[in-house]
Each structure stands twice: as structure tokens, then as C-alpha cells.
Amino acid sequence: MTVNPGLEGVVVGATEISRVAGQEGRLTYRGYDIADLAAHASFEEVAFLLWHGRLPNTAELDSTRRDMAAQRSLPGQLIDSLRAVPHNAWPMDVVRTGVSSLSQYVPPRPDGTHVSDVAAAMRLTAATATIVAAFDRVRRDLEPVAPRADLTHAANFLYMKNGEVPSETAARALDVYFVLLADHGFNASTFAARVTASTWADMYAAATSAVATLQGDLHGGAPGKVMKMILDIGDPAKAEAYVRALLDKGDRVMGIGHREYKVRDPRAEPLERMARDLGTSGGNPQYYAVARRLEDVAVQVLNEKKPGRRLYANVEFYTAPTLYALGIEPDMFTCMFACSRMAGWTAHIMEQMKDNRLIRPQVDYTGLVGLPWVSIERR
């Protein structure tokens, strides 16, 4: 039996939602290149595309925006539960619990499950952002801010977080981030969602599995560590010495390298532009400057130490200075990832349920065999 650790190179299913072409450095959603979507599409358009398989017309986009806006508010009991959470609780723990709790406020079917459709996908996508923003305020001893229906998904998040309407630059930067992170093939959290959905668990259960999986450092937890590096370095001139010291200790340069991409992550360039623009408009260009130099020296030094590995910046690298410039703390970065990826997770859950077969792979047993029973007196 051939074992592929981490399922690397194993094709476990088919999808029409997104294509990751790692050798080419390309990512497409439903056939549309990610660079075009980042340049021209809103997050609401991309969510519709992922859920329905096509771009919306004007009436459909307006309807999607209205319907998502109507799903942003949280039940009072859920807000109260966020207030009761210790302020030092890990944010992803809170988001996981909040997402799971959403199902309790939806009337179940007779078998106890919920309908897994576009309406549920909208509810999860809209409400997850509200959960994240509400907890961010609660833990700072501030009252949650009610969502506004007249703002886009991205602008509304920043409004709920800060209590004021964001600048066009800030709203657009977060919108681009949400577009870029919305889906990415059968990554670990998406696969977890599909495994859960394959058991006929409903969308809320499958989405909760995805959120739990995203929490790990090897999947969604890297941007916070990238920002720590940027803050520790402080000055672009110190980047090379920092990277060499890090690698000499056997540590990783977080945000560099990707399981799929053998060239620079196609999502890194649009995010780099957002980080640069936010630094310029906000009067804090140093974070982008450090990140830019850090990427250059990390790629150079890694190429010296690991020739032929072809390690480049991934999407998480420029996520860090982008979100930080928006006033989002590093421990909330993975929560922001969940806000975006919920659109993709729910699309995959619906696709899995449309043509379902229980995901049940084989395993190569490597333990002991043939042991005789030993009574407890003789052990």
C-alpha cells in the first residue's frame, strides 16, 4: 500500500469552484483569474460566483447585497454570550463557538439538521463577520456596533469594528483581501468541511469543522507570526540579519513558501499593493517597507541555504501588513481569514452534498499484531 503523507499529490475529488495551478502560479474561481477578480469584483460578486457558478447581473448583485445585509445581525442571546467570554480568550475559539451557535437560532428539520442552501451560506458568511467584529469590541470593553445595511460587506465590517465609516481606501483594501482569500481548492479547512458534509451533517456543522481546522499554524495561523517578525525587525536594514539568525536556529520564515505554488503566490501581488497603499494613505509606511525588504532577503537567503526549493511569498505574507494597517490586531488575523473563506467553504459544502459519497479513505496499519491476551495480574 502506497502512503502519501498529508495526501500530497493525491486527487481525492473533483470541483468546479476553484483551480490552483501551482506550477504556473495561477488561481481561478469558476474560470475567472484571481487577478481580474481582485481588480474588478466586489466580495459580494465573488460570493455569488462561488455559490451559483456565474457572475451576477445588476439585479442579482443588488439582491445579494440586500440579502447578505439582512443576515448580519446576531441574536441578542449570542451577543450576550460574547460578552460573557473572558476578554483574553483566543479569538478563533470564540469564532468557532459563535459559528456553531448560529445553528441554534435556525428552526431545524425533523431530523435535527438544517437546510444547507445559499440562504444558509449567506447567513454564515454575513454573521461570521459580525461575530468577529463584536468580539473585537467586547474584549476592548466597548459595546458592539450594529451592522449597517447601506455599507458593503467589507466596509460594514470596519464600521462594526471601529464605530465609524471607513475610508474608501480602507474599505477597498479589505474587500480585495476578502476576494483573494475566498477559496483555494481542497485546502485543509475546505477538505475538513467536505468530509463533515459527506456524512450528511448540515452546513453549520461542516462550517464549524472548517473554522476549527483553520486555527492551526500550518494553515491559517501564519499571518500573525509574520506581523510579529515585521514588528521585531522594525527597520528594513535589519531584515537580513534577522532572517539569517532565524534560519540558523532552525526556525521557519513564516509567510514564505507554499505547498502548491512553486512560484510567487498570485494573491501576494494584489495584497502587496494594498499594504503599500494603506501605508502611504495612513502615514505608516514602515510596515510595508519592512515587509518588502523581508521578502527579498528571505527569498535570497533561503535560495542560498536550500537551492532548488523555489520558496516565495505566499498570501499570508502581505496579509499581515495589510490587516495591521487596517487596525486589526495580529491575534485576529485568522478570524479575518474565516470571514473571507466562509464563502468558499459553504460553496464546497453545497457542491459536496449535490453529488455526495461518504469520504472514508483507507489507512495503512503499522502497529503490532498477534499479541496474546495477558491477564491484569501478569502485566
Which residues are catalytic, by number? 258, 316
Contact call for residues 173 and 277 (beta carbons, < 8 A): yes
What gap in Å lies between CA 203 and CA 207, rounded to an integer? Answer: 6
Placement of cell 487577478 in the chain: 35
Q: In sequence order, which residues have a C-beta less than 8 Å from that of residue 318 and are 6 or more positions away?
A: 255, 268, 271, 272, 274, 275, 291
Grid cell at residue 311:
520558496
For 268, counting Cβ atoms within 10 Å of its Cβ (0-12 exposed, 13-18 middle, 19+ buried), the class is buried
| Neighbour tally for 8: CB within 10 Å | 7
What gap in Å lies between CA 128 and CA 345, rounded to an integer? Answer: 12
Contact call for residues 170 and 181 (beta carbons, < 8 A): no
**Cα separations (Å) of 360 from 12, 94, 191, 204, 331?**
10, 30, 12, 21, 34
| Neighbour tally for 231: CB within 10 Å | 13
Q: DSSP label at 179?
A: H
Q: In sequence order, which residues have a C-beta less than 8 Å from that of residue 25 and are 6 or more positions away?
A: 261, 262, 263, 264, 265, 266
Grid cell at residue 354:
449535490
Contact call for residues 276 and 288 (beta carbons, < 8 A): yes
Q: How many CA atoms within 13 Å lie on the side-chain side of 216?
A: 10
Q: Measure the CA dihedral 316/312/5/12, to 10°.
A: 70
Phi, psi of 17 (to 5 degrees): -85, -50
Grid cell at residue 306:
536550500
What gap in Å lies between CA 286 and CA 292, rounded to an integer? Answer: 10
